Amino acid sequence: MSVAASAKLNKMVKQQYLDLPQGDEVQATYVWIDGSGEGLRSKTRTLDRELKSLGETNLRDGCRRIMSLVEKEQPWFGMEQEYTLLDSDGHPFGWPRNGFPGPQGPYYCGVGADKAYGRDAVEAHYRACLYAGVKICGTNAEVMPSQWEFQVGPCEGVAMGDHLWMARYILHRVCEDFGLIASLDPKPIPGNWNGAGCHTNFSSHDMRQEGGLKAIEAAIERLAKRHHYHIRAYDPKGGRDNARRLTGHHETSKIDRFSAGRADRGCSVRIPQAVGEEQRGYFEDRRPSANCDPYVVTEALVRTCLLKEEGEEPAHYSQ
């Protein structure tokens, strides 16, 4: 098992410098999404005051403008970010070097050294997000060993993208200290292993009211007509990354076909069992890839479900 050079450094030595008083100066770290639409970068400057403004970069501004059109609808989102922990050489953390771990089954929400790989980094990330004010609301081990998930939300409008991007940044920084890589690849290991998505839960004011199931079902009908549009929006490569994941197997729908149902993890869009019983709540779009841009995903959902833009028929993708 390889260990990243940064993880070998003595963190206690670093701490004595972090404890030094810094007077009235402020270290401000600027975080941005790079040109790939997936990677995060950062740099730090010294300022004489804390900045409160947020830079409008990448696709945030377009998302913010669309959200401003539907403020009365109070669009709420929750996103379930799956990721895979890798060694610094790209090998899945905790996996045998000359073989594979046991088949999937015991790892989901698993407990024990033979089932949960990398929990230290996961719990450190959770605490760091809470400290930073990120609206993280849960975490769990996923189906594939060394794969985890954290959930962010509920967030209204453009705040969903803000909180998820910062949660990702903190994840990468925490993993750096542990000598790990957090991969958002939608299908990091080919074969009979689960991929990684970013299931997105969505509701409007009407959907949350009594009898809101009718509004949910109407939104799903509109989503069916714009399946191709959403597939292109749900990963940075216009659907090509998700084509490796959305195969109709491993708790996914097929990329070239829209489907919806209650309590069905093999659907494009799922109505949770409790929502069906209460006749109100939210729906879960299971198509977004782990490396999706949350600004794009949330904007697309609002365009289709609340602005009611015209549909387009599903397109077939070559697998």
Lowest mean pLDDT among 24-33, 51-60, 235-244, 288-297: 51-60
Q: Give me the pLDDT at residue 312, please.
A: 67
Domain 5-305: CATH superfamily is: Glutamine synthetase/guanido kinase, catalytic domain (3.30.590.10)
Q: Has residue 203 got a pLDDT over 80?
A: yes
pLDDT of residue 6: 76
Looking at residue 316, what is its pLDDT? 44
What is the mean pLDDT of the segment spanning 218-224?
A: 98
* Chain mean pLDDT for the chain: 93
Q: What share of the chain has pLDDT > 90, as a percent?
A: 83
User: In the predicted model, what is the mean pLDDT of residues 79-107?
Assistant: 95
Grade residue 24 by pLDDT with cuts at 50, 70 and 90: confident
The mean pLDDT of 203-216, rounded to a whole number, is 98
Average pLDDT for 269-280: 97
Q: Over the stretch 112-145, which tens digit does the pLDDT of each residue have?
A: 999 999 999 999 999 999 999 999 999 999 999 9
Check whether 222 has a pLDDT greater than 80: yes
Question: Residue 310: what pLDDT?
Answer: 82
- Distance between CA atoms of 286 and 267, rounded to whole angstroms? 7
pLDDT of residue 315: 47
Domain boundaries, the chain: 5-305
Tell me: pLDDT of 104 over 50. yes
Q: Residue 151's pLDDT is what?
A: 98
> Poorest-confidence range of 76-85, 161-170, 218-227, 305-314?
305-314
- Rounded to an integer, the average pLDDT of 206-231 is 98
Inter-residue contact 74 to 145 (CB < 8 Å): no
- Structure confidence at residue 165 as a pLDDT band (50, 70, 90): very high
pTM of the model: 0.93
- For 158, half-sphere exposure in the C-beta direction (CA atoms, 13 angstrom radius) is 17
